[in-house]
Structure 1
């Protein structure tokens, strides 16, 4: 028998996992992203730039602050409520990189994010792109990413 609307909406399907962080003196709880949070996170780390051949656009993975941007969405208290807002990513990003990297790996796994997902966002996968643009991972330094419509803090040219 197929699930109905109420059964789907009531399902507790977002995993959590406690993680010991000796550098911080205790344990934190990480949870996977909701669908909306996943879209928001991916939108915050993906921009588009003109392809090297100038005929289209290609995705660029913006890695600056990527660990903290995910972790502010995934660190929760005992009640499952977020500890941080998206605006706290800069402050959290100032913590030890080794700790953030370890927590990022858990948050990534709980959220169903894989290295293949990152490669696809960066344009390094064999998956077709919407524009059919180049998927080269070695842009020329002068090819700055264009601001995405998502990122309100991106400079507008």
Structure 2
């Protein structure tokens, strides 16, 4: 007989993966966490036009910084970059370092290149 999970069991599950990423360009290690469902929805909505189909006029500008800001967390799992100004400053950091963080974030969040292409409207 199949044992089904209760809502309490599902909501109580610690199910978000994280990975520590060495970033020598920044002089240390950052923790990258998988995006929860609501955060991924919010992240993706930043790129979708008002019509719900097309891409916003600014397109994919700031994609790496936004993804890194959405997934870099402290040792307690709390997002470290919360404001648009912090995200903008993060985008001014080394592109290789940002890409390394984004590669892990995409892998953990099961975000494929096809997902990114779809967001870009290509």
Place the TM-score, normalised by the shorter chain, in its bin.
Answer: 0.7 to 0.9
The structure richer in helix per residue is 2
Deviation at 1:119, TM superposition (A): 2.3
- The whole-number CA distance in structure 2 between the counterparts of 1:29 and 1:112 is 17
Separation in 1 of the partners of 2:78 and 2:69? Answer: 11
Shift in CA distance, 7/92, structure 1 to aligned 2, threshold 3 Å: same
Alignment match of 1:11 (pick from 10, 13, 17)? 13
In the alignment, structure 2 segments of 5+ residues that lack a partner are none
For structure 1, which runs of at least 5 residues remain unmatched after alignment? 50-56, 125-157
- The DSSP-based 3-state class of the residue aligned with 2:75 is coil
* Native 8 Å contact 2:60 2:120 kept in 1: no
Task: Give 2:81's aligned residue.
Answer: 84
After TM superposition, the score normalised by the length of structure 1 is: 0.69
For 2:70, the equivalent position in structure 1 comes to 73
Calculate the TM-score normalised by the size of structure 2: 0.87
Q: How does 1:1-157 map to 2 (within 5 A)?
A: 1-47=3-49, 58-60=53-55, 62-87=59-84, 88-124=86-122
1:103-141 per-residue CA deviation (whole Å, 9 max, x = no partner) reads: 1111111111111112223344xxxxxxxxxxxxxxxxx
User: Is contact 2:17-2:34 (8 Å) kept?
Assistant: yes
The structure that has the greater radius of gyration is 1
Number of residue pairs matched by the alignment: 117
Post-superposition shift, 1:78? Answer: 1.0
How far the C-alpha of 1:11 sits from its partner, in A, is: 0.7
Return the alpha-carbon distance in structure 2 between the equivalents of residues 69 and 18 of structure 1. 18
8 Å CA contact 1:69–1:86 kept in 2: the answer is: no
Q: How many angstroms apart in 1 are the aligned matches of 2:21 and 2:35?
A: 16
What is the DSSP-based 3-state SS (H/G/I as helix, E as strand, rest coil) of the residue aligned with 1:28?
A: strand
Q: Work out whether residues 73 and 86 of structure 1, in 8 Å CA contact, stay in contact via their aligned partners in 2.
A: no
